[in-house]
Amino acid sequence: MPRKSSESEKKSKATLSKNKRPATKGKTTKPVHRLKLSRWMVFMGLKVLLVILILFALSSYLLLRYALTPISETRDIQGSYNEMFSEFPYLRHWTDSLNKHSALLDTTIYAADSTLLHGLMIRGPKSTPNTAVLIHGYTQNAVRMLHLAYLYNHDLRFNVLIPDLRHSGESGGDHIQMGWKDCDDVRLWMEIGNRRFGGQTRMVVHGVSMGAFCAMCLSGGKQPAYVKAYVEDCGYTSVHDIFKYRMRRQFGLPSWPLLNLSSQMCRWYWDWDFEEADCRTGLSQSTLPMLFIHGGGDTYVPTEMVYELYQQKPRDKYIWVAPKATHARSFQSNPSEYQHQVRSFLNMFLYK
């Protein structure tokens, strides 16, 4: 028969059983607690990373919109006329005279992608093959180039053509192309200007700021026979360079990664990016004469850029840095010297 357990044996088993339970509990709960904590930390880290990425993406998008679709007065044509007449009072009488003789013409064309483009055409006081194509700057328009149109038309007796670049003036377009993609439109305007003014023009292309960048891009490679010279006034080396400089100077921000993301978004939206928009390649291949103008006090497009650009041009190049002139104000700082520099340059090369 089985032996009955004594009272002492029962107590011994109960004590052993109690001692085992806590040890078993401790071994199973500690790893579970740590695992849960690790998962929570990973989850929170991913959430923080996602928030940072979203903030960077949103900031880059806003930067892109701020730069290429800015709120400006470029569409206010009458306001632009009033501003020009206020700064250059002689333009009012001149434009009135042009309108009276039907010499100042609004012209519209369609680009290759069917975008409507607008420009101003001014016939010379007398029939002449000499023609100037003037390209305006960032957030500007054709009307705001009338002071240089006066120089060419009134003083030098040229025909003049001034396009409104995309998203400017009375032209269509959903964003400012910074002078890069504008090259195709300006080439079309140059062809039309040559035909409208007789078919055998002697043409100079003169750009200011963003327009100067466009002119330098256009100067590379094979040129139409009617193009004889280029003038660039306060242009920049590349879109990436000027945005990087403006971010640092205006906002105190580093360019990476916001500018790089904005550039990639520009590629997604509009099929070009800031890095590819560089005029130095065109300049290095340029064979036509070019006059470089820059303000000695320019802090918007730093004066140092003109010396780098000047070095990129192989030959037939001349430079004038207007002392103390700020951005796109070399003409205003010394109009007689500006005219002298342009006239002397053209006398050397346009009439060959």
Task: Tell me: pLDDT of 259 over 80.
Answer: yes
CA distances from 204 to 132, 182, 300 (A): 5, 17, 26
Task: Tell me: pLDDT of 92 over 70.
Answer: yes
**Residue 267 placed within a domain:** no
Confidence of residue 215 (pLDDT cuts 50, 70, 90): very high
CA torsion, ordered 232, 238, 244, 246, to nearest 10 deg = 20
CB within 8 A of 207, min separation 6: which ones?
A: 134, 135, 136, 179, 213, 214, 215, 216, 230, 231, 232, 233, 235
| Closest of 221, 91, 108, 218 to residue 144, by C-alpha | 91
68 vs 174: CA distance, rounded Å: 9
**Residue 269 placed within a domain:** no
Task: Tell me: pLDDT of 1 over 60.
Answer: no
69 vs 136: CA distance, rounded Å: 16
**Residue 330 placed within a domain:** yes
Residues 334 and 324 sit within 8 Å (Cβ to Cβ): no
Strand partners, 203: 131, 227
The reported pLDDT for the residue numbered 20 is 52
Cα 306 → chain centroid: 17
Confidence of residue 58 (pLDDT cuts 50, 70, 90): confident
Confidence of residue 233 (pLDDT cuts 50, 70, 90): very high
Confidence of residue 41 (pLDDT cuts 50, 70, 90): confident
Task: Tell me: pLDDT of 21 over 60.
Answer: no
Confidence of residue 57 (pLDDT cuts 50, 70, 90): confident
Which range marks the domain in which residue 306 is found? 77-238+277-349
Looking at 41-45, 144-148, 282-286, which range is the least confident one? Answer: 41-45
Confidence of residue 34 (pLDDT cuts 50, 70, 90): confident
191 vs 196: CA distance, rounded Å: 9
136 vs 148: CA distance, rounded Å: 10
Q: Residue 102's domain is classified under what CATH number?
A: 3.40.50.1820
Cα 292 → chain centroid: 19
Total domain count, the chain: 1
**Residue 12 placed within a domain:** no
**Which amino acid appears at position 106 of this protein?**
D
**Residue 5 placed within a domain:** no
Termini Cα distance of the chain: 134
What's the whole-number average pLDDT of the chain? 90
Residue with tokens 């919109």: 65
**Residue 105 placed within a domain:** yes
The reported pLDDT for the residue numbered 76 is 95
Task: Tell me: pLDDT of 44 over 90.
Answer: no
Confidence of residue 256 (pLDDT cuts 50, 70, 90): confident
**Residue 51 placed within a domain:** no
CA torsion, ordered 155, 73, 275, 285, to nearest 10 deg = -10
* % of residues, the chain, pLDDT over 70: 86
- Alpha helices, DSSP H, located in the chain: 7-68, 77-87, 90-100, 146-150, 182-196, 210-218, 239-246, 258-270, 280-284, 304-312, 330-333, 335-349
Residues 290 and 219 sit within 8 Å (Cβ to Cβ): yes
Structure letter (DSSP) for residue 315: S
Task: Tell me: pLDDT of 12 over 70.
Answer: no
Name the token pair of 133: 């194509």
Kind plus residue range of the DSSP H or E element containing 138: none
Looking at 8-17, 97-106, 170-179, which range is the least confident one? Answer: 8-17
The reported pLDDT for the residue numbered 331 is 98
**Residue 243 placed within a domain:** no
Residues 134 and 156 sit within 8 Å (Cβ to Cβ): no
Confidence of residue 337 (pLDDT cuts 50, 70, 90): very high
The reported pLDDT for the residue numbered 267 is 96
pLDDT per position as a tens digit, 234-254:
999 999 999 999 999 988 888
The reported pLDDT for the residue numbered 161 is 98
pLDDT per position as a tens digit, 182-197:
999 999 999 999 999 9
What average pLDDT does range 286-303 have in this prediction? 97
Confidence of residue 38 (pLDDT cuts 50, 70, 90): confident
What average pLDDT does range 152-174 have in this prediction? 97
Name the token pair of 271: 């099929």
Name the token pair of 207: 């750009």
| Cβ-based burial of 94 (10 A; exposed 0-12, middle 13-18, buried ≥19) | middle
